[in-house]
Structure 1
Amino acid sequence: MSALSGITVLELSRVLAGPWCGMILADLGADVIKLESFDGDDTRGLGPPFLDGMSAYFACCNRNKRSLAIDLRTPESRPLVEALVREADVLVENYRTGGAEALGVGYDALSAINPRLVYCSISGYGRQGPGAAWPGYDYVVQAEAGLMSVTGPADGEPYKVGVAVADLATGQNAATAILAALMQRHRTGKGQRIDVSLFDSQLALLANVGSAALFTGGEAARHGNAHASIVPYQAFHAADGEFVLAVASEKLWMETCHLLGREDWLRDPRYVNNASRVEHREALCAELAALFIGQPVAHWLGLFAGAGVPAAPINSVRQALDHPVAHARGMRILMEGVPMVGSPLKLSASPPRLERAPPALGQHSDEIARGCGFEPEALRLAGAIR
């Protein structure tokens, strides 16, 4: 059995954060029923690329789910919704604040039907506070919650990260909170409401950078491909390309100096420890740059690999997907002809399942309706489902 076998999740969310949360739970074995409007999740139309009508965006976060196309605004859909809620363990929604209540699927209404329901709300800025009514988009939150200010060239403009990290972190935080709430429900028999936001998640992702700003009271600087607190820990140019070097301990620094034939750096007061190297980063990195430009990337990677000093090429996305580790770890999967990145969660006794490709819109509407004791054609004629 999968880890979450027997858990039913109603996913009333779209785009990325909510569906990412739902897919984590689905991969772990939950029966995730994705309730979509008749237009479907927004990401169904976000492309190219498409594969047989399915967008790559939708495919990345919707496997192992069943799709129910339903019009929550139609009174005729209400009996089916209530039947689903009575049997559900978890509900995930990411409507604008007040939107779920307007559709009759807010926490108060649904917890009255099922007090054991774990109800997770995902929003841009939280369900309370000055941003409760604001729309939440990853790009905007990367800017507003500080990430862009520390991303990009040190002497250039702020950059966003190349993937929607605020959305993804929020989805993972939501899944973690849901699992914790299910554990508590096991003890108390009662569900609860969870409030997870993109802004909170992105602010927490600042990690040591945010902590340093709190310690100093000053602004965090942008360091490009270098590290604010570790030197050398950045990208360097070799004769034929770039690679990254991560010397994150004094032991590794000693090994690096020996490998490069620069034992004199171990005696240089400017480089004697990491704090000194951070203070004199420009001088040290200039010396390293002059050294590395003399040989190709493969030379330096071979040298460092032999001594266990972390270094790597800067791979393209295709190169990363084709990496031998990606294949060995089951991170390349094919589900009913749909290529996907696999789950990073490795459980020895209950590994993530690979049962359902991302669903077509309303693919399981009839199956779900019948499972709740309703005649699909009657609901369809009433405009409740498709």
Structure 2
Amino acid sequence: MLLEGLKVVEMSTWVAGPSCAAVLADWGAEVIKVESPIGDVTRAFFANPENGQSPIFANENRGKKGVVLDTTQPQGRAALKALLRDADIFVTNTRPGSLKKIGLDYDSLKGDFPRLIYAAVTGFGLTGPYADEGGFDITAFWARSGVAHATIPTDQEPFPSRPGFGDHMTAITTVAGILAALHERHGTGRGRLVETSLLRAGSYAISWDLALQLYYGEVQTAGPRNDRPVAISGFFRTKDDRHLVIVPKNVNCFTNVMIAIDRPEVVADPRFELPMLDLDIVREARAICDEGFARFTLEEMGERLNSLDVAWGPLGTLAEHAASERAELAGCFVELEDGLGGVFRAPATPVRFPEGAPPVRRPAPGLGQHTREVLEAAGLTAEEIEKVL
């Protein structure tokens, strides 16, 4: 079912690489996570003081088998290559230069493993002078790509994205590339290098604005609220001190919003005929909206906007989302075993398979939990295993 029968070896840390492999595990692949003796750094992130479990590590590494190998040593590298002998996919976000030094880069492995799909997750790609620069999603995906500058209003101080925000888009992008290469291998019998980067994923995420920049040489992004050219677009505060956002989808939206806030007479005023090109008139219309929305609660306004088919959404909190029936019905959460006899809820991957999929329950592995088991299955002798333990 789905990816059952595929073997994935993952040697990565932090988020983008592990998250990619976790999606493959969710979809049925056997995933072996290779860690150094000190382990993936995220094991310590927000760890529960009662049981040592990190929900961050659990989210990015559920469903995997855990192996500890010191790949700085010859015996560790030999053991890794033994795992790759019958692997379909290798996922790594180790810096390219470091991999090349120890002979685990794509060029060093492809001759011995011609069917292997080698997925390299990087900050800035595999070529050029920036290939070995460290990249995190906040620095590469968010800041360098222009995503942050296009998103943060110019009258506000810059702020970082939330942790893992760009990593997860890069992860699902890597999964897509792996599956394309896997499809090709059905016909050719050969694997290939799949390369993704945080910078490229950020460029694609902001590609609406970036397309305009590339075509016209300039683009208008998130300026101050009062300078934005569409009066009914953006966030508005309601009577109960909540916020909602409106996205106009056609020329009828202005009329429908005026009806929703009980100001239908505005539509008949020739000053507000669309398109409104005078920014002073836009500001006046926005002030009418501000006053109108402030007379209704979020629930009241939501009912009105829904009845008029206006695209809107509340500025919800994570707590509201976690308790939301809408999110539950959309399949946003899964229950994972904690390895201690209990279960806890975690975010689901963004794809659901209503006609059946492997259950997502198995917990993330303890450090080196399956080392002996996995190496025995790979054909290493007891003496060889003892050398790497």
Q: What is the TM-score when the length of structure 1 is the normalising length? A: 0.90
Tell me, yes or no, if structure 1 residue 183 matches structure 2 residue 183.
yes
Which of 361, 370, 377 is 2:376 aligned to?
A: 370
CA contact (8 A) 1:151 1:224 kept: no
Q: Distance in 1 between matches of 2:15 and 2:226?
A: 29
* AA of the residue aligned to 2:386: L
Structure-2 change in CA distance of 1:52 and 1:125 (3 Å): same
User: Structure 1 stretch 359-368 or stretch 346-355: which is displaced more?
Assistant: 346-355
2:147 corresponds to: 147
Q: Report the CA distance between 1:54 and its aligned residue.
A: 1.7
Alpha-carbon distance in 2 for matches of 1:168, 1:225: 29
Asked if 2 retains the 8 angstrom alpha-carbon contact of 1:230 and 1:248, the reply is: no
CA offsets per residue over residues 317-343 of structure 1, 9 Å max, x none?
A: 111111012222333322222431123
Bigger drift between 270-279 and 207-216 goes to 270-279
Give distance in 2, aligned partners of 1:62 and 1:216: 43
Q: CA deviation at 1:304?
A: 1.5
Q: How far did 1:263 drift?
A: 3.3
Could you tell me how far 1:226 is from its partner in structure 2? 9.3
Deviations 1:7-45 (A, max 9, x none): 111111110111111111111111111111111111112
Go from structure 1 to structure 2 and tell me whether the alpha carbon gap of 1:91 and 1:275 turns closer, same or farther (over 3 Å shift): farther
Cα distance, 1:380–1:112 mapped onto 2, change above 3 Å: same
Superposition pairs of residues 200-349 of structure 1, within 5 angstroms: 200-218=200-218, 220-223=220-223, 231-246=231-246, 247-268=248-269, 271-273=272-274, 276=277, 280-336=281-337, 337-349=343-355
Please give the alpha-carbon distance, in whole angstroms, between the structure 1 residues aligned to 2:175 and 2:224. Answer: 32
Is 1:199 paired with 2:178? no
Question: Aligned pairs, how many?
Answer: 382
Q: SS at the partner of 1:126?
A: coil
Which consecutive residues of structure 2, in runs of 5 or more, have no partner in the other structure? 338-342
- List per-residue Cα deviations over 1:266-303 (Å, max 9, x = no partner): 34455434674989542221110011112222221222
Q: How far apart, in 2, do the equivalents of 1:225 and 1:359 lie?
A: 47
Q: In 2, are the aligned partners of 1:154 and 1:222 still within 8 Å (CA)?
A: yes
User: In the TM superposition, what are the counterparts of 1:350-365 in structure 2 within 5 Å?
Assistant: 350-365=356-371
Cα distance between partner residues in 1 of 2:206 and 2:184: 29
- The answer for the alignment partner of 1:52 in structure 2 is 51
Q: Work out whether residues 227 and 233 of structure 1, in 8 Å CA contact, stay in contact via their aligned partners in 2.
A: no
Q: Is the 8 A contact 1:120 1:195 kept in 2?
A: yes
The verdict on how the C-alpha distance between 1:24 and 1:276 changes in structure 2, with shifts beyond 3 A counting, is farther
> Residue type of the partner of 2:309?
G
Q: Is the 8 A contact 2:375 2:385 kept in 1?
A: no
* Equivalent AA in structure 2 for residue 136 of structure 1: G
1: CA distance between counterparts of 2:264 and 2:276?
Answer: 18
* C-alpha RMSD over aligned residues: 2.5
Q: How does 1:59-70 map to 2 (within 5 A)?
A: 59-70=58-69
**Superposed displacement of residue 96, structure 1:** 1.3
Give 1:127 deviation, angstroms: 0.7
Query: Which residue pairs with 2:156 in the alignment?
Result: 156
- Once the two structures are TM-superposed, the CA of residue 219 in structure 1 deviates from its matched residue by 5.1
1:203 is paired with a residue whose SS is: helix
Q: Using the alignment, how far apart are the partners of 1:69 and 1:110 within structure 2?
A: 20
CA deviation string 1:189-208 (max 9, x = no partner): 11111121111111121121
Change (3 A) 1:219 1:188: same
Q: Any conservation in 2 of the 1:346–1:352 contact (CA below 8 Å)? A: no
Larger CA deviation: 46-55 vs 206-215: 46-55
Confirm or deny: 8 A CA contact 1:345 1:352 kept in the other structure.
no
Contact 2:209 2:221 in 1 (8 A): no
Out of 215-224 and 236-245, give the one that drifted further: 215-224
Superposed CA deviations along residues 68-102 of structure 1, whole A, max 9, x for unmatched, are: 11111222234432221110111111111211122
Q: 1:306 to 1:187 in 2, by over 3 A?
A: same
Give the drift of 1:225: 7.3
Distance 1:274 1:281 in 2: 10
Superimposed CA distance per residue, residues 131-154 of structure 1 (whole angstroms, 9 cap, x where no aligned partner): 112111112111111122123344
Q: Is the 8 A contact 2:67 2:367 kept in 1?
A: yes
Assess, with a 3 A threshold, how the Cα gap between structure 1 residues 28 and 81 changes in structure 2: closer, same or farther: same
Work out whether residues 22 and 32 of structure 1, in 8 Å CA contact, stay in contact via their aligned partners in 2. yes
1:119-134 matches, within 5 Å, as 119-134=118-133
Contact 1:227/1:234 (<8 A) preserved: no
User: Could you give the per-residue CA deviations for residues 90-137 of structure 1, whole angstroms, max 9, x where no partner exists?
Assistant: 111111121112222211222112101110111111111231121111
What residue is the counterpart of 1:109 in the other structure? 108
Change in Cα spacing, 1:269 to 1:359, as seen in structure 2 (3 Å) is: farther
SS at match of 1:340: strand
CA change 1:231–1:34 in 2 (3 A) is farther
Cα distance, 1:117–1:138 mapped onto 2, change above 3 Å = same
1:214-242 CA distance string (max 9 Å, x none): 34322543246799675522111112212
Moved more, 349-358 or 34-43: 349-358
| Contact 1:10 1:91 survives alignment (8 Å) | yes
Unpaired segments of 5 or more residues in structure 1?
none
Alpha-carbon separation, structure 1, partners of 2:165 and 2:18:
14
